[in-house]
Structure 1
């Protein structure tokens, strides 16, 4: 999605998610950045740091899970407000090696009591974009 011009509603969603992101200590430490948002949609980016590597130098599966979970949560939050993950799963498709990473979360279905979401994680190196993981999350709205 990542558009140069956001609608006023999408710009407001983006600013709201960026504020939520800035309030989360883990996300600040990791350097997660919310780069785009629309109803039922969110993009999250992360620059590679050696701290994120596992023994073979790939992005650690724990960080992959955190990116998938957060992208799904932010996509759901655009429709449901504050949410918590009830369940999520991740499938690693290829070694996650890149200069940057892009997680794209989308809402599959949102109701009053739960939201079903899915996300893809891409490794970015120069002009190359490779899907390295996918995941799904079931989220529940919580009172703010």
Structure 2
């Protein structure tokens, strides 16, 4: 399998900027390499649920996006065929960092994993959720 030109950081930033949802939530590409990506998103009160922590739907979106981008750096455009997540603790912080990585890239399926961290006021990161996605390559 050849590596997609999508792992270029400039390309990842442009792809992220082209996604309306990613712009809406303030998702920013921090780092990227073949098979790996890192995003950050600032805390926003309008993404919370009734108890005051990040809504599980937003957690899922962050994990799914990181998995998709990580896979795309290896195989090109993808779409998710299965997604699962585990919420480990309430997601509260001044900012969130999500890291995705490709576990295995194939012609018909690609497997990726992501971790979501909450950053507190002292800059300490706590793991708050994990996710795994099976993706289907769409071709270049």
Normalising by the smaller structure, the TM-score range is over 0.9
Q: Which residue of 2 aligns with 1:142?
A: 138
* CA offset digits 1:37-66 (Å, max 9, x no partner): 011100011000111110011000000000
**Greater than 2 Å deviation, 4+ residue runs:** none
Looking at structure 2, the residues matched to 142 and 54 of structure 1 have their Cα atoms a distance apart, in angstroms, of 34
Q: How does 1:1-144 map to 2 (within 5 A)?
A: 13-125=8-120, 126-144=122-140
Looking at structure 1, the residues matched to 40 and 123 of structure 2 have their Cα atoms a distance apart, in angstroms, of 15
Deviation at 1:123, TM superposition (A): 0.2
Distance 1:85 1:12, change over 3 A: closer
* CA offset digits 1:71-125 (Å, max 9, x no partner): 0001001101111111110100000000000010011100111110101000001
Looking at structure 1, the residues matched to 56 and 65 of structure 2 have their Cα atoms a distance apart, in angstroms, of 14
> Unpaired runs of 5+ in structure 1?
1-9
Looking at structure 2, the residues matched to 65 and 72 of structure 1 have their Cα atoms a distance apart, in angstroms, of 11
* More off after superposition, 66-75 vs 11-20: 11-20
- Return the TM-score normalized by structure 1: 0.90
> Unpaired runs of 5+ in structure 2?
none
Deviation at 1:18, TM superposition (A): 1.0
